[in-house]
Structure 1
Amino acid sequence: MRCHPADRAADYLQRGWWSADTIDALLRARVAEFGDQPALVDPPNLAELTGNSPGRWTWTELAAQVDSLAAYLLSLGVRAGNVVAVQLPNSGDLVRAFLAIVRIGAIATPFPVSYREHELVPMCRRTGAVALITTTRVGDHALAEQASRVRAEVPSLQHVLTSFADIPDGRAPMHVADVNDCVTICWTSGTEAAPKAVPRCHADWLVMALGTQWAARLGPADVLLSPFPMTNMAGISGMFLPWLMVGGVFVPHHPFDLTVFLQQIAENRATYTVAPPALLTMLLHREDLMSTVDVSSLRLVGSGSAPLTPWMVRSWAERYGIEVINFFGSNEGIALVSDPHDVPDPDHRATYFPYYASKVRWNNPVAARTAVKLADPTTGAAVTVAGQPGELLIAGPSVFAGYLNAKPGTELDRSCFDADGWFRTGDVFEIAGESDEFLRYVDRAKDLVIRGGMNISPAEVEGLIAAHPAVTEVAVVGVPDPVLGERVCAVVVLSAELSLASLTNFLREQRVASYKLPERLEIVDALPRNPVGKVLKRELRGLAEVAT
């Protein structure tokens, strides 16, 4: 399955915007280069999480296990172009599964371990997944039992693999991939009730990874600690692929546990990691905690998913000598990066992103490959003056080709691309800076809730809560949290008594991912609405914050 039209792919390659590398070629190159040097280290709490002992692998050992799993998938009948679903914790197993799927030319569709049947069944049906790779359990979530139930409801799903322990040694024949071949189908988790499927090829993933690798100045001596599973751009192009591009050591972390996270920094001598801004801010206020851990190995920390504060970025540099990179990205291909090299001033770096269309020359290689413009959200007219909000539109070799099954001219296609083929991000920015060289983030175009880096669709959760017999009306909003960034708050109008515990139990019975469950319940007499009946969620967020 090729993602982009052939003429577009040829143009990107001819311009040098796309690399000729594939993900499997990167793995083979790193194995040849680094051989018996360390490559991958499991999280230390893996046994508690899954029952499996944590492991360590050299590049050679990793490659052998990838080859054996790839050969086993072929023996099951999985072929190039087939879709393989993956639901594994952030660990060595997830890395090996991803690489084995890619090695045979199949397509990985990765899912968070918190997903239940409510999410998995329709997603596996839409992609026609032929196999599901998972594990026995994650905590008290029985993934193997869940996988059996999913298999019974998805006709295409022929195989479920729950353990790597009994896979025999094997060699997979060389598969020659094209850089335009689809390699992943990730999923939006935005403001729509139904997530959209985002196919991505080798080449457009690697463009985004190049921006991260350059911004963090990653090389073969680096140790990357990744708290983001490889289910979306943060984990894939933000951590996993930069590691494959340069070598070094990859250290997954899961689930997020601050004590374990800090332990992994110290024990593995991590040089680069990522963390949400709320966590970075909280740690600055916990000098008692920071004085007990060794973070001296860290050079840089990536952050994003919510606005950064100048105080936070400046304080990490002044207190610990650690620079913070400000990222703004998406599965579809947004790749804005404000790093210490292009934006040395910490106040600017926290507040702005480079405006690639300005006259300033930005050094990050993604800048020259990404076309950017702002459009008035109402009229669509070009926004060219500072201080006027406009929707961000982008084009170029990092941008995906379109949502799965979104044929040109359909509503799904028109909703994400304008008439000239620019991707409509749905995010509002304005031009800023003394020379109009920056973009300043204004707001989400829709009311997304971002909890610990995971995007939650209010519309989806509202639909589930509305099914409760005691609920007359419901609106879901995010409320600030010092560690996770936001938590889910349900604001409801009731016809009978309802507690938060009763509501969450009701949702658990529908097998909904646990991170989507409301953690606050506010009861009101009526939802505030504008003159045309739209719920005023800004007022609801204020109400919930006051009630905290």
Structure 2
Amino acid sequence: MAPKVRSLHDAAKVADYQARGWFSTETVDQLFRDRVAEDPDALALVDAANKEALVGTPARRLTWGELASEVDALTVRLAELGLTRGDILATQMPNTVELVEVYLAAWQLGVVVSPLAVQYREHELTGMARQAEFAAYLTSGRCGDRDLLVEALAVRDRLPSVRTFIRYAAPGETSAVPDGAVGLTAAPATDADRDAVAALMATTNDPNDAMTICWTSGTEAEPKGVPRTHLEWLAASWAGVDMPRITKDDVILNPFPMINMAAFVGLLLPWLRTGCVLVQHHPFDLMVFLGQIAKERVTYTVAPPALLVMLLHNEALMSQVDMSSVTRLGSGSAPLPPSMVAGWQEKHGIGVINFFGSNEGIALMSSPEDFPDPTARARYFPYYAAPGRTWSSRVSEWIQLRLVDLATGEDITEPGIVGELRIDGPTVFPGYIGGESMPSPFDERGYLKSGDLFEIAGDEGQYLLYVDRAKDLIIRGGMNIAPAEVEGLIAGHPAVAEVAVFGVPDDILGERVAAVVSLKPEQSLDLDGISDFLREKQVAHYKFPERLEIVPALPRNPVGKVLKRDLRATVN
């Protein structure tokens, strides 16, 4: 029997934060029911136009009432399969209406959702299942040219905690459900379903219970599970509402995989907070994305910096696109070019909001209200600890920040000195799954060690300037890649003696994966050989190196650390 995940934060901390107004007594399932009761006939959720090509079923549009009915029916079906409060449900689905239904149904039951990127394959799935001990695995089945359910069933002997494999599909799905799995189809709730839901929800969920286990890639070779409760998700959600000033009248377009902080705080939870319209998008397709903006009259969306740069300078394309409904944009995951932020404001009157966040709980955002100068907005983030300065998001009043000199361990209070950002407050998670077996992410004062380097900046020391990642991390197209993980995999190739993996700049994806390899005597290797080897290991394709350099030996410093900065200069 897989373990149950229940209350995670210390009770005294919860009581203290609730007394301060930082934690609420809400749960996300209650938030959803409030929106349904508020306006059941209003449009709530829209699929991407290319959904049928991706999963084989037509795109759908649901009102809040229709969504609630299907969520109730799915809640009962999941309960009938034996899922109960505290169980962990692994989900591996593209952004669709049905993915949102799965989340909402699970949270009504008190079931913890562990969202997995659709790019993940056997290597990632089995590793994460080993750590989190999933009770069940749920997918849409087909995803492009892959059948995710068949892939999962093929390694079920390596997923011993998973007692149920589920395909959840939209109406119109015709694929046969493979042996060993259960097929569920989205459908309205019956009277019996509604009675069953009322009985199931007679015991109110605890806001201190885990709601999700997301996955983060750091410097370690294996991704870490990040449990988050209703408490800190709902606290952080205010940043996603306040900075873009989202209201019920908005139509928001979600192109981010709904698996982590960016989509949850940036889009999903603000949608539930306000009752606006959420439009799904997946996989990213530029013309579909732009078409959705025009057709759905999208008012707010998010996009990576490279895409916004390309659109800004592609006048021929922009002349064919109707973006007149868009009033603001969000971007992040990489430093924003000041010319891009200024260009959108000057050419189109659209303010670009600068985001910097993490699954563990960092939530820095620079809005046009706080940073009217677009150049400053691109470069800086608010320094919440700056004396005498207030910011537009209520979250800024709840978060405590420190900059710490990594050489001395002392707090930095003066501009121009680089230090690690550390954070405490109601947006911060309670700790990685694995407990004491995992290195603590917190310092001696209980602050989360971000691994990101900043310095205090601005004439009055009111800003934070991002400097670099202390963590050795690659961000390719918004997906985090731990170089140590890829290095460990490539090191298993029989021709490889040593390997170093790092990111190199790319105009489209932000970074691409590069590998520098030294070979064993009388061996040869090319990029195709590495790809074939990783493919055999069932590794997600986005982790495959796209640049390769063969060297006699890896350069190292006097204590044996590989000098990746020197290696970057050798890769074109």
Deviations 1:510-547, CA, capped at 9 Å, x for gaps: 00011111122222233222222211212222322xx2
Q: 2: CA distance between counterparts of 1:528 and 1:268?
A: 53
For residues 365-393 of structure 1, give each alpha carbon's deviation from its aligned partner in whole angstroms, at most 9, with x where no partner exists: 11100000111112211111111101111
Match of 1:529 among 524, 542, 556: 556
CA contact (8 A) 1:191 1:456 kept: no
CA contact (8 A) 2:432 2:438 kept: no
Q: Residues 214-257 of structure 1, C-alpha deviation per residue, up to 9 Å, x if partnerless?
A: 00000111111111122110011111011110011111111111
Which residue identity lines up with residue 470 of structure 1 in the other structure? A
2:334 alignment partner, SS class? coil
Q: Equivalent residue for 1:106?
A: 111
Shift of 1:462: 0.8
Deviation at 1:411, TM superposition (A): 5.7
2:382 matched to 1:339?
no
Letter in 2 for 1:325: I
RMSD: 1.3
Number of equivalent positions: 541
Q: TM-score, normalised by structure 1?
A: 0.96
**Preserved CA contact (<8 Å) 1:151 1:158:** no
2:328 alignment counterpart: 300
In terms of mean alpha carbon deviation, does 281-290 or 91-100 score higher?
A: 281-290
Aligned twin of 1:511: 538
The residue type equivalent to 1:374 in the other structure is L
- Could you list the runs of 5+ residues in structure 2 that have no partner in the other structure? 1-5, 172-183
State whether structure 2 residue 239 is matched by structure 1 residue 211.
yes
> Quick check: 255-264 or 495-504, which moved more?
495-504
Tell me, yes or no, if the aligned pair for 1:266 and 1:295 is still in contact at 8 Å: yes
Whether contact under 8 Å (1:84, 1:107) holds in the other structure is yes
Q: Residue type of the partner of 2:93? A: L
Q: Following TM superposition, by how much is the alpha carbon of 1:502 offset from its aligned partner in structure 2, in angstroms? A: 2.0
Q: Secondary structure at the match of 1:314?
A: helix
Compared with structure 1, are the counterparts of its residues 522 and 425 closer, same or farther at alpha carbon in structure 2 (3 Å cutoff)? same
- Of the three residues 79, 82, 107, the one matched with 1:77 is 82
Task: Give the Å deviation of 1:209.
Answer: 1.3
Alignment gaps of 5+ in structure 1: none
Q: Could you tell which deviates more after superposition, 77-86 or 133-142? A: 133-142
Aligned letter for 1:513? A
- CA shift in 2, pair 1:150/1:5, >3 Å: farther
Q: Is the 8 A contact 2:557 2:563 kept in 1?
A: yes
2:94 aligned counterpart, secondary structure: coil
1:441 alignment partner, one of 452, 456, 466: 466
| Alignment match, 2:455 | 430
Report the CA distance between 1:307 and its aligned residue: 0.5
Query: Aligned AA for 1:329?
Result: G
Give the AA of the match of 2:406.
Answer: P
Query: 1:424 and 1:50 mapped to 2: Cα distance?
Result: 40
The alpha-carbon distance between structure 1 residues 150 and 176, as it changes in their structure 2 partners (threshold 3 A), is: farther
1:401 equivalent in alignment to 2:430: yes
8 Å CA contact retained: 1:369, 1:396: yes
- What TM-score comes out, normalization by structure 2 length? 0.92
1:55 to 55, 60, 78: 60
**How big is each residue's C-alpha offset from its partner over 1:47-99, in whole Å with a ceiling of 9 and x where there is no partner?**
11111221111100111111111100000110001111100001111111111
Cα distance between partner residues in 1 of 2:345 and 2:549: 39
Deviations 1:454-510 (A, max 9, x none): 100000001111111222221111111212111111121234222212211110110
Q: Select the residue among 518, 534, 539 that pairs with 1:493.
A: 518
Match of 1:418 in 2: 443
Match of 1:233 in 2: 261
Q: Is the 8 A contact 1:490 1:522 kept in 2?
A: yes
In 2, the alpha carbon distance for the partners of 1:274 and 1:363 equals 20
CA contact (8 A) 1:85 1:111 kept: yes
Contact 1:375-1:383 at 8 Å conserved across structures: yes
Give, in whole Å, the separation in 2 of the partners of 1:46 and 1:150.
27
Match of 1:538 in 2: 565
Residue identity over aligned pairs, in percent, reads 54
Distance 2:551 2:158 in 1: 39
Matched-pair contact (CA < 8 Å) for 1:342–1:364: no
- The one of 114, 124, 139 equivalent to 1:119 is 124
Look up the equivalent residue of 1:528 and give its one-letter code. Answer: P
CA contact (8 A) 1:120 1:150 kept: no
8 Å contact from structure 1 (residues 89, 113) kept in 2: yes
Q: Is residue 290 of structure 2 the alignment partner of residue 259 of structure 1?
A: no
Q: Report SS of the residue matched to 1:543.
A: coil
Q: Deviations over 1:385-413 (max 9, x none)?
A: 11110111111011111111323xx6612
Q: Which stretch shows the higher mean deviation, 140-149 or 70-79?
A: 140-149
